[in-house]
Amino acid sequence: MTRELRLLAISGSLRKGSFNTAALRALGALAPEGVLVEVRTLHGIPLYNEDLREDGGFPPEVTALREAVRAADALVIATPEYNYSFPGVIKNAVDWISRPPQQPFLDKPAVVFSVSPGITGGVRAQWALKPVLAGLGALVLPRPEVAIGSARAKFDDKGALVDEDSRKRLAALLEALIAWTRRFGAG
Ligand SMILES: Cc1cc2nc3c(=O)[nH]c(=O)nc-3n(C[C@H](O)[C@H](O)[C@H](O)COP(=O)(O)O)c2cc1C
């Protein structure tokens, strides 16, 4: 008997019309029965400042994010590519989440994919982000690698992912993450 799996899907873009957030919504809609996907953005996370932590602990938005990561069976991160890497918005959040006590990335199954209007699909951003998460002890799924390029042609004007090949790739990624997560004992 397998139990329900809860996946936390974090978008690295704050943009309303974000392709990465839209791709996470598409992935969530592809989830099989018994798998819940919560899509979350990083709005409201302050810039990392050690003084804030020393003065009164984590800011409430950070505490909520840390708790959400801790409670999730696995993480999905969709990252844009900014100047050949992942955006500072993600690095800032990772820095907050990574601080003690009980660093919640440790032993957490995770997958990273990227979406970009460019033809390389933001693959350099995910190549930069994966070692950061691995360094924190997250169990980063090595493959399949999903980088959705030429995004303007693959989403409609309401943000629905209409490209069948991309939908299949996201479904395969989700299936692999579910197996990966169960392999490490969840569900
Ligand atoms: C500061 C900045 C740097 C960017 N650098 C790259 C880049 O190196 N490679 C790339 O494919 N796209 C780059 N882009 C374009 C983004 O991929 C594009 O804005 C994309 O829509 C961002 O993802 P989103 O739709 O989820 O917000 C850059 C955009 C910005 C704002």
The structure's pTM equals 0.97
pLDDT tens over the chain, length 187 residues:
578 999 999 999 999 999 999 999 999 999 999 999 999 999 999 999 999 888 878 999 999 999 999 999 999 999 999 999 999 999 999 999 999 998 999 999 999 999 999 999 999 999 999 999 999 999 999 999 999 999 999 999 999 999 999 999 999 999 999 999 999 877 6
User: Which of 10, 39, 83, 127 gets mutated to test ligand 1 (max ligand atoms within 8 A of its CB)?
Assistant: 83
CATH number of residue 66's parent domain:
3.40.50.360
- Centroid of ligand 1 to alpha carbon of 81 (angstroms): 5
Residue with tokens 């169990």: 139
Tell me which residue range forms the domain holding 118: 5-183
Q: Report the number of distinct structural domains present in the chain.
A: 1
Residue with CA closest to ligand 1 atom 31: 82
